[in-house]
Amino acid sequence: MYDERHPALRRRGFLAATSLGALALAGCGTDDSDPKSGGAPKSGGRLRAAFAGGGASETLDPHLANLFADAARAKALYDKLADYGPDLSAQPRLAEKWETNKTLDRWQVTLRQATFHDGRPVTAADVLYSYRRIADPDQAFRAKASLEPIDLDASRATGQRSIEFVLKRPTAEFPNVLAAFGAYIVPEKATDFDKNPIGSGPFRFVSFAPGRSAVFRRYDDYWEGAPHLDEVEFVVANEESARVNALLGGQVEYAHELNPTTARAHEGSGQIEIVRLRNSAMQAFCMKTDRPPFDDARVRQAFFLIADRKELVDGALSGAGAVGNDLFGKGYEYYDDSLPQREQDLDKARALLKRAGAENLKVTLDTSAVAAGFTEAASIFRDQAAKAGVTVDVKMGSKDSYWADILNNGTLCCYRSGALPIEAHISQRLLTGSTTNATKWRHKDFDALYAQAQSTRDETARAAVYDRMQRRLYSEGGFLIWGFADWILGTARTVRGVEAKAPANTLDWARFDKVWLA
């Protein structure tokens, strides 16, 4: 995009792009053409970032990371072997490269030259210690399920900086495992994470008060180059209004997770910058396919046709999002965008219900105030369903146990998910053995397709298998995916280098080593 009025901006953008060329080749390219990030990076200063947090129980143990605040802090102190790019494909981080054998069940991972904050090099032993800690059967670390494909007893260090991972089965998407949420590398034998955490990340530990503040300082020897900022401070403010007020009042320079209404009120006002991370949160209704009335594919298809997606996005997300097409992962690697956009068609829906013998259908829709827009979405959908002759009874559930409650109970519920590779969405939620299979989608042939994809080396052939799975889900799956919500951040006007194309949870989201204060 050439802009006549700002040739200087464009030139700087170009310079920045070339200087990053070497890094881009290494597989961690950042797109610096965004005019907002214009200007040469300046060194120095402290950035204060406000997140919703977990109160006095917070810990800096990166393997216990559960909240966005935990993930942001862990990302500043620690590294993973890989992390997700903007399209949720795995990008090498501490792993310099990975190679697999023909059968995709042994992976050779080579580490880059990196050091922990105490000067020790990051070695294969540290990686194996970290993964074994996560997989400890007596513990319940979040990444445990993601690391499940690895046979850690058989895996071993083949050199100071090389590891051979032995897998329990062929896994073409093994790099996704290395990038999993919470799979951080800590030094061998590390146990004390709150007093003196040592990582290999871009910032080193200064101080931490659970539920209040964490201060980290630039690590000059970071393998990817020292951060521009001198210091970053994470502060915790659970109320959205408090985060916005602190940002407006100049008490913080970065506020995570804002409401669409706040964003609209301040967008273009010149006071603060609003950053929208597109395609961050999948919004859906989830139908249990193993019980009436949704065990009949025609009823599910009718529900697909009842939803007016635009109205749901406008009403439940205040317009801050894009309509969905009943498929997870819009804009992600392997997403099938060739399928026609689903539109509301009440006549066809009524006809399908009639053929399924489900006229005057009554269903209970479980919802809860657990996520923004859930209760609104439920009441909008109730009104839409009424037009097709379906009575939807909205039932409010508890906020704190919602996800566990809806896993096996009920028939229809509100659902959302953060960014995740499509492969991980399938393996965690749509296979017969998946642990969080909320749609109860259990089909041997679908499982077989997944296994086939995982044992297919050729990427094009693999993409074709993913397309087959997605067409199946599109025509008769249990997820009515009506939208993708933007993740909204606010920054002070002096903040530069905040990546706007990174969905929440990806590498460039909440990444403060690339940010500077103008």
Q: Are 198 and 117 in contact (CB under 8 A)?
A: yes
Residue the block writes with tokens 């889900």: 473
| 238 near other proteins, rule: CB under 8 A | yes
Report residue 190 as tokens.
Answer: 């590390």
| Near other proteins in 196-215, by CB under 8 A | 209-213
Interface residue with other proteins among 27, 28, 42, 59 (CB under 8 A) is: 59
Q: Which residues, including other chains, have CB under 8 Å from residue 445's CB and lie 6 or more apart?
A: none
Among candidate residues 341, 349, 343, the one with its CA nearest the CA of residue 387: 349
Report the nearest approach of other proteins to the CB of residue 183 (Å): 14
**246 lines the binding site for other proteins (CB under 8 A):** yes
Complex with other proteins: residue 255 or 473, whichever CB lies closer = 255
- Residue 245 is a binding residue for other proteins (CB under 8 A): yes
233 sits near other proteins (criterion: CB under 8 A): yes
Per-residue mark of binding to other proteins, 123-142 (x: CB under 8 A): --------------xxxx-x
**Least separation in angstroms between CB 428 and other proteins:** 9
Q: 391 or 435, CB closer to other proteins? A: 435
The residue within the footprint of other proteins, chosen from 48, 73, 228, 330 (CB under 8 A), is 48
Which ranges constitute the DSSP H helices of 225-296? 240-248, 260-266
Closest residue by Cα to residue 211 from 54, 328, 426, 87: 54
- The continuous run of DSSP H or E covering 284 comes out as strand 272-287
Residue from 56, 396, 448, 461 touching other proteins (CB under 8 A): that is 56
Expressed in angstroms, the distance from the first to the final Cα of the chain is 24
In this chain, which of 20, 157, 242, 500 binds other proteins, going by CB under 8 A? 242
When asked if residue 401 is in the footprint of other proteins (CB under 8 A), the reply is yes
* Contact (CB, 8 A) for 40 and 12: yes
| Percent of the chain as helix, strand, coil, to the nearest 5 | 30, 25, 45
150 lines the binding site for other proteins (CB under 8 A): no
Query: Is the CB of residue 231 less than 8 Å from the CB of residue 215?
Result: yes
Cβ atoms 515, 496 nearer than 8 A: yes
CB of 223 to other proteins, least distance (A): 30
Q: Candidates 89-97, 196-204, 245-253, 355-363: pick the segment binding other proteins (CB under 8 A).
A: 245-253
**Number of residues binding to other proteins, judged by CB under 8 A:** 49
Look-up of token digits 């087959």:
468
- State the CB neighbour count (10 A cutoff) for residue 17: 15
Asked whether position 435 contacts other proteins by CB under 8 A, the answer is yes
Q: How far is CA 455 from the centre of its chain?
A: 25
Interaction of residue 47 with other proteins, rule CB under 8 A: no
State the Cα–Cα distance between residues 301 and 306, nearest whole angstrom. 9
Select from 32, 58, 126, 336 the one that contacts other proteins (CB under 8 A). Answer: 58
Q: Residue 140 Cβ, how far from other proteins at the closest point, in Å?
A: 4
Instruction: Compute the least distance from the CB of residue 225 to other proteins, in Å.
Output: 28
Nearer to other proteins, 23 or 404 (CB): 404
Q: Which of 9, 24, 351, 407 binds other proteins (CB under 8 A)?
A: 407
Is residue 472 within 8 A of residue 446, CB to CB? The reply is: yes
Cβ-count burial of 289 within 10 angstroms (0-12 exposed, 13-18 middle, 19+ buried)?
buried
Q: Does 338 bind other proteins (CB under 8 A)?
A: no
Number of H helices, E strands in the chain: 15, 21
Based on the shown chain and the rule CB under 8 A, indicate whether residue 239 belongs to the binding site for other proteins. Answer: yes
Residues that bind other proteins (CB under 8 A): 48, 50, 54-59, 66, 137-140, 142, 144-145, 209-213, 233, 235-239, 241-243, 245-246, 248-249, 251-252, 397-401, 403-405, 407, 416-417, 435-436
